[in-house]
Chains A and B, each alone.
Chain A
Amino acid sequence: MPTNYRSSITPTWCPGCHNYLVFAAIQKNLSDLNVDSSNLVMNYDIGCAGNFADFFKTYGFHTLHGRSIATAMGEKIANPNLFVCVIGGDGGIYGEGLNHLVSAVRSNINIKVFVSNNFLYSLTTGQTSPTTPKGSRTKSTPTGNINVPVDPVKLIKSINPDVFVESVDNRDMVKLNDTIKRALEFPGFALVDMIQECVAFGKQLNS
């Protein structure tokens, strides 16, 4: 029988949001690995992806924006027996909290980071994020984003090639499931960059 990681709260994402897929895939793989929900700590960043927080019933920490990795590192260092995960978006993990990501990658600490990368700040209605393609017109860049985007896989590999980092297009459910599985099984730091289009604000991207 699969382990139950669900709270009684119904998810509040937009109809058609990729986070429903991610939610299903993470639960399935945790259960397949027999991760005990009383030994599991999920850390949530702030944003649409951070809103996973209320839908899980495990030990959890809905942290500050950008700081989910730092909080997760504290938990894992304090008690290495805990199974520690992070769920966040491209804004929190690659922007606000980039220094913590770099630090975690350098240390190859055994935490699992899942990034719902939709190239935008969506909860705040669609401003440019660190992964927004150059030229995209968003509410905070009405004349077009002048910055080149961060490539998280290249960035992380350049810091520490020994960690697990892969990008996956969420539309390929089989591949998403397999990548999450391998990340959870990896004996060190693992990050899955989960590419998805925001159903509410994604149309404005110049991709």
Chain B
Amino acid sequence: MSKKVFTIKFAGPAGMGIKSVGQLFSKILIAHDFNLSDYSEYPSLVRGGHNTCQISFSQDKVFAPHYFIDILFSIVPNHWPQHLGEFTKDTLIFSDEQIDQINPEFNQKRKGKFLSLPLKTLANEIGSAQVVNTISLGVAAYLFNFDLELTKTIVCGFYKNFCDLNARAIQSGYDYAKTNFSKYKLNLIYKPTTKTTDFYEGNEAYSLGFLAGKGDFYCAYPMTPATGALHFLAAKQEAYPNLKVIHAEDEVGVANMAVGAAFAGARTAVGTSGGGFALMNEAMSLCGVSEVGVVYYLVSRPGPATGIPTYTAQADLLHAINSGHGEFPKIVIAPGDIDESFEMGYQSLNLAAKIQTPVIVISDKFLGESSTSTQDLTKIKPEIDLGDIEKNPNSDYKRYQYSQGGISPRTIPGTQNGQFLANSYEHDEYGFSTEDATTAKKMFDKRNSKYKLALKLAPKANLFGNKSAKKLIISWGSTKGPILEALKNIKNSSDFAFLQLKTLWPINPDIKKIIDGFKEIIVIENNGTGQLVSILKSQFDFNPQKIHLKYDGRPFFPEEIVKKLNN
């Protein structure tokens, strides 16, 4: 096998197991030591519509799914014309329809090779209309030269109660392909360069990071695309007896419960998307003034309002940075990939405990609901920072004592002599309300001075590529994968360096020094107004030569970025 990245796509209506077959295909890839990166699209529907799951895989690291497809399976007829633009002359399109039944207009526009696959007939022979997805998987297993028995074992492990049925479906697809599609078989010889161990969605990786960071209170109201973390963590409560996962009455309740839980000593996070996050703003301001550290896991989708619920955008960065009324310190960090989603799961808890202020982890649908293969995250044991806790307070304990650096040791309710008032009003060192001008200013200054430590502890930016290149790409969050994948594939890759900002607020002044070392600045963002550009402009003289934006609900694909960089 060459270095080529292969891309496969499964398409069909919601409820036909598109996501399942994608997951199974990925599990089979992992068992064969492939690296992978996947991407799913689905409508806000339970049945019907058009779902897809595509997986790009290679024996080398794949940073992002590719746009152009090598093989597409239309699980039921007519779920391929939506993807005409993604076909090349070599694309294989499998669908359960005869070529002469197809709308001639589609056929005329179509690139690639159309192959008729009688999924319904084969499924009827097996005795279940449901298995069309696993039959397709059998065809793929043949074409990619996967180990048939290993494939069956993995499928059986997934469909435990329907093992025999699905094993027969795999065999049926495999045999059909052997008889009819042998000329398309890719005789791959596996020479793994890495040992992959597992793949995770961003939401799962964040949740595992939260657990590794001793997170023990997670509160949410279901909202796509953050719900994956709620489901994942809710199911972990048996394995983690201290863990409490609460689905509260609304996002206002979620955010205020979280304040109470964190005040009571829990390592606390809430999960939501843009609309829910808007409802949490007042409570975030409360965390700011009462110095209670809560983590907000914000998984963005396109707005405004209900927007395009199951699609992606990086459109909430300014909202995150400006969230909560009044002025108080806040930390906004953005993972760029699965490993960083995991890292920020625990880093955010450490920061919230140490700085005693809100920490926002901003992800998006593309990162939160897409998978990438990586190391076994469950084996990582990060350092835990519980922050400054006063266990033996004296009789005149001041919770909000003025201090160098602004951080005052907190007591956890239950501690003798540690009684204090956490207060939504401006307050004195004990926490009691005040309207005194001198105290108000001193308390503001105390809180604001915590930014210094925040800058020191918050994740540092990554600089990739040729550090002495002329051109610098700047981006943040989930665009990291497509940019790295583009740089892997672009001919003149040594012309570029890539700066990935991981902390979006506060902005580290060192960023300016890095930027000043390059002649041409190119910003890439998955939003319509260039929100990172606005932030950097607010901090220092910043005039990027090019700004590439995408705001149609879809992520950037590496091919698009290559094209933009070549222009």
Contact = CB atoms under 8 A, between A and B. Distances in A.
15 contacts: A9-B432, A38-B414, A38-B417, A57-B419, A59-B418, A61-B260, A64-B283, A70-B252, A71-B259, A73-B253, A74-B258, A74-B268, A100-B249, A100-B253, A100-B256
B433 A78 contact: no
B265 A64 contact: no
B432 A39 contact: no
Contacts of A53: 421, 423, 432-433
Interface residues of A, number: 36
Nearest to B260: A74
A196 interface: no
B260 A75 contact: yes
A41 B421 contact: no
Given A39-B413, A70-B248, A61 B257 contact: no
Nearest to B393: A38
A133 to B, nearest CB: 28
Given A53-B433, A74-B219, A58 B261 contact: no
Interface in B416-436: 416-425, 431-433
Interface in A25-51: 37-39, 41, 43, 46
B242 to A, nearest CB: 10
Contact of A78 (B217, B250, B283, B416): B217
Given A74-B256, A77-B257, A99-B250, A61 B263 contact: yes
Given A61-B259, A73-B253, 6 more contacts: A41-B264, A53-B423, A54-B432, A64-B256, A64-B424, A73-B260
A82 interface: yes
Contacts of A17: none
B232 to A, nearest CB: 19
A207 interface: no
Interface of B: 216-217, 219, 244, 246, 248-250, 252-253, 256-266, 268, 282-283, 286, 290, 413-425, 431-433
A57 B419 CA distance: 7
Given A63-B286, A64-B282, A100-B249, A70 B260 contact: yes
Q: Most chain-A Cβ atoms within 10 A of its Cβ — which of B219, B248, B264, B283?
A: B264
Grouping DSSP codes into helix (H, G, I), strand (E, B) and loop, the A interface class, with mixed when no group exceeds half, is mixed
Contacts of B219: 74
In the A-B complex, the 3 residue pairs with the closest CB atoms: A74-B260, A74-B257, A70-B256
Given A41-B413, A62-B424, A64-B286, A78 B260 contact: yes
A72 interface: yes
Given A39-B413, A71-B259, A79 B253 contact: no
A43 B260 contact: yes
A114 B432 CA distance: 21
Nearest to A79: B264
Nearest to B399: A59
B264 A75 contact: yes
A67 B286 CA distance: 11
Interface in A57-107: 57-64, 67, 70-79, 81-82, 99-100, 102-103
